[in-house]
């Protein structure tokens, strides 16, 4: 029954969006827009451009990015005193090659002292089959013989070491290595619409507290030492801001 | 694999209804003469996206089936006298061992309802309607006047799609419906996932190789479709010319040199020869490539660059045999003998 109703629902959605477009030309104010979570990727101030050896990491290694896929979840907006004021659960699957805007159910106006975030999935969702069987989720599966659940991140590309090009694949998975990120930037949400802006600085993955050297750590999946380094380095890889 | 447990089944079932993502090209209109067809696949398969302007019906699938097996699609040009089935034999997983001169190795027609990248180099991306439009207009150059003069086809198009006037778009839509029905989900591996059978010790060992870093097949050939629908340079060559340039010929991106679509491994034991150019005759040769024959290049997929395994996996003879044994569990005898997928003529 639901399947038969869906086309009608989509038609209504289409008509609704069509109405919004027509209203753009009218002088009356637009209704409050849907709040968005917008993800962007930077490399120490440079916007990410994939497939080019344009970046240099903390170890001084030139590298490119050919694949960047990951989950974000449990975005906690902190009020005064760093107490949780609002939690946006997600999860959000991010592919740097695709859409990086996600609709949010709500935003509460107020002053926030920062946020916390999981780069990956909470344990309750990190079990095989817990997420809908979309192609993206299936391709992020972390095989059961290796612990099950999902890749938290796939960060791949090429790098130059001793004059030779090679590949790297930094994958993180399993609950033990889930990166907990802290975003200390204070921000004000001034309307229930607007955008929460999350910026992922990829070079932070290679620095503090560990200088991650691709020449000695180009493949992390199944390597607990490397996944631990990446988990720790990712803790400060995101920043947050609000844009009305 | 035991992680595909009952809890996963229940969650998947609960979520399934909310995962249907019919695109909104236009309202779904099923002609009064057509019967909606609900294509079924096991719970661990993805939800299949069906464009709202081409809902699947019994009559549409049957029309597509006839067109697939009928050489009427190619009355002119180099393909004259051939049907789709001329190069896609059901008993061989809808492929054939010998591709026409000048063409890539023939890819199998199976589970393409979940694909969005088509052909070895992804020359066509989008829906089955998009690739079928390409096949109708460019590959076969279908003469719709011939179909229009046929004693049966106009009525069949009217019954299936609501209009007796045959267009290339309508031919593509009928074929797309047929392709969505070509579902393989009853291999021994599927039965194992569903707890309907067990695997031999060798097959189990092969599965563990497949699903761990030792063999690392899962990154590009993950469950259950056995393809990630992506493009990869797997180190077949270090210098790329002609068709061996692969995805690069479509994108112009040097990072795509030598990259080809990861084909599904369903019925892989029957669909040789292997690779885009059919360079490997047997599964053993394929495994040996991954084991010792990987060639370096600047666009080699990063997954292929594990420390200490730069030229291959270094598997033992027993491990290679186990991996081949596991690949054989992807053969789906139900699919290969399904009379609903056979020629209607």
Q: What is the mean pLDDT of each run of 10 residues along chain B (345 residues)?
A: 35 35 54 92 94 96 98 85 94 91 90 97 97 95 96 98 97 98 98 97 98 96 97 97 96 97 98 96 98 96 90 96 98 98 97
Residue B24 to residue A2, Cβ atoms within 8 A: no
CA end-to-end span of chain B: 41
Residue B27 has a pLDDT of 54
Gap between the Cα atoms of A66 and A162, Å rounded: 21
Residues B148 and B25 in one domain: yes
Gap between the Cα atoms of A153 and B303, Å rounded: 14
**Domain membership flag for residue B212:** yes
CB-based contact, B229 to chain A, within 8 Å: yes
Q: Which residues of B143-173 are buried (b: 16+ CB within 10 A; e: fewer)?
A: bbeebeeeeebbebbbbbbeeeebbbbbbbb
Residues B178 and B199 in one domain: no
Residues B34 and B166 in one domain: yes
Q: Give how far B161 is from chain A: nearest CA, Å.
A: 17
Which residues in chain B belong to E strands, given as ranges?
117-118, 124-125, 231-232, 260-261
Average pLDDT over residues A35-42: 96
ipTM: 0.89
Residue A236 has pLDDT above 70, yes or no: yes
Average pLDDT over residues A52-79: 97
**Domain membership flag for residue B102:** yes
Residues B115 and B206 in one domain: no
pLDDT-derived band at A10, boundaries 50, 70, 90: very low
Among B8, B52, B305, the residue with its CB nearest the CB of A219 is B305
**Domain membership flag for residue B8:** no
Would you say B252 and B267 are in contact if contact means Cβ atoms under 8 Å apart? no
| Domain endpoint, select from B165, B182, B199 | B182
Residue B298 has a pLDDT of 94
What residue numbers bound the domain in which B258 lies? Answer: 188-329
Residue of A nearest to B113 (CA): A135
**Domain membership flag for residue B9:** no
Residues B266 and B162 in one domain: no
Residue A143 to residue B15, Cβ atoms within 8 A: no
Q: Residues of A with CB below 8 A from B230's CB?
A: 139
Rg of chain B over all Cα atoms, to the nearest angstrom: 21
Is the entire prediction scored with pTM above 0.90? no
Q: Output the domain CATH number for residue B104.
A: 1.10.760.10
Among A11, A51, A148, the residue with its CB nearest the CB of B27 is A11
Structure tokens at B259: 């990259």
CB-based contact, A12 to chain B, within 8 Å: no
Residues B141 and B62 in one domain: yes
Chain centroid, CA A6 distance in Å:
29
pLDDT tens column, A66-80: 999 999 999 999 998
**Domain membership flag for residue B66:** yes
**Domain membership flag for residue B63:** yes
CB-based contact, B27 to chain A, within 8 Å: yes
Cβ contacts below 8 Å, chain A against chain B, sum to 124
Among B3, B19, B298, the residue with its CB nearest the CB of A128 is B3
Residue B47 to residue A221, Cβ atoms within 8 A: no
Among B20, B208, B228, the residue with its CB nearest the CB of A139 is B228
DSSP β-ladder status, A36-43 and A195-201: parallel
Gap between the Cα atoms of A228 and A225, Å rounded: 5
**Domain membership flag for residue B2:** no
Residues B170 and B82 in one domain: yes
Residues B102 and B248 in one domain: no
Q: Count of domains in chain B?
A: 2
């Amino acid at each position: 029954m639901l399947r038969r109703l869906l086309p009608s629902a989509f038609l209504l959605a289409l008509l609704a969006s069509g109405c919004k477009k027509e209203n753009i030309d009218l002088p009356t104010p637009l209704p409050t827009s849907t709040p968005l979570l917008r993800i962007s990727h930077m490399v120490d101030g440079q916007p990410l451009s994939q497939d080019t050896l344009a970046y240099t990491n903390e170890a001084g290694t030139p590298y490119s990015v050919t694949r960047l896929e990951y989950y974000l979840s449990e975005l906690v907006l902190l009020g005064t005193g760093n107490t949780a004021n609002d939690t946006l659960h997600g999860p959000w699957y991010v592919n740097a090659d695709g859409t990086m805007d996600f609709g949010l159910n709500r935003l509460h106006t107020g002053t926030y002292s920062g946020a916390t975030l999981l780069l990956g999935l909470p344990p309750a969702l990190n079990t095989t089959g817990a997420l809908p069987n979309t192609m993206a989720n299936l391709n992020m599966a972390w095989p059961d013989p290796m612990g099950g659940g999902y890749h938290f991140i796939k960060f791949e590309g090429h790098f130059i070491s001793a004059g030779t090009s090679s590949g790297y694949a930094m994958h993180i998975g399993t609950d033990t290595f889930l990166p907990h990120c802290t975003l200390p930037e204070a921000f004000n949400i001034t309307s229930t619409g607007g955008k929460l802006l999350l910026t992922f600085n990829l070079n932070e993955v290679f620095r503090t507290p560990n200088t991650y050297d691709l020449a000695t750590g180009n493949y992390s999946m199944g390597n607990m030492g490397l996944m631990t380094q990446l988990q720790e380095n990712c803790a400060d890889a995101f920043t947050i801001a609000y844009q009305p | 694999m035991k992680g595909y447990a009952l809890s996963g089944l229940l969650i998947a079932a609960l979520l399934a209804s909310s995962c249907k993502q019919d695109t909104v090209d236009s309202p779904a209109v099923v002609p009064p003469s057509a019967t909606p067809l609900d294509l079924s696949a096991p719970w661990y398969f993805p939800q299949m996206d069906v464009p709202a302007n081409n809902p699947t019906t019994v009559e549409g699938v049957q029309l597509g089936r006839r067109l697939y097996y009928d050489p009427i699609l190619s009355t002119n040009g180099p393909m004259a006298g051939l049907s789709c089935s001329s190069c896609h034999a059901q008993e061989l997983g809808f492929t054939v061992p010998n591709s026409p001169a000048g063409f890539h190795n023939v890819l199998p027609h199976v589970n393409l309802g979940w694909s969005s990248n088509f052909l070895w180099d992804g020359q066509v991306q989008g829906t089955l309607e998009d690739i079928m439009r390409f096949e109708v207009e460019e590959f076969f150059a279908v003469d719709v006047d011939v179909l229009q003069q046929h004693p049966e086809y106009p009525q069949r198009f009217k019954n299936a799609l609501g209009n007796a006037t045959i267009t290339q778009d309508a031919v593509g839509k009928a074929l797309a419906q047929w392709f969505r029905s070509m579902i393989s989900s009853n291999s021994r591996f599927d039965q194992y996932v569903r707890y309907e059978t067990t695997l031999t010790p060798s097959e189990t060992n092969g599965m563990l190789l497949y699903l761990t870093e030792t063999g690392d097949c899962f990154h590009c050939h993950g469950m259950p479709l056995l393809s990630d629908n992506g493009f990869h340079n797997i180190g077949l060559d270090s210098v790329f010319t002609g068709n061996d340039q692969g995805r690069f010929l479509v994108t112009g991106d040097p990072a795509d040199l030598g990259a080809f679509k990861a084909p599904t491994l369903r019925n892989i034991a029957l669909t040789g020869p292997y690779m885009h150019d059919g360079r490997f005759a047997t599964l053993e040769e394929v495994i040996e490539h991954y084991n010792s024959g990987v060639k370096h290049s600047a666009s080699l997929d990063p997954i292929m660059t594990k420390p200490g395994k730069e030229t291959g996996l270094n598997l033992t003879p027993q491990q290679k045999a186990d991996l081949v044994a596991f690949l054989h569990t992807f053969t789906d005898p139900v699919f290969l003998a399904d009379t609903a997928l056979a020629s209607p003529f």
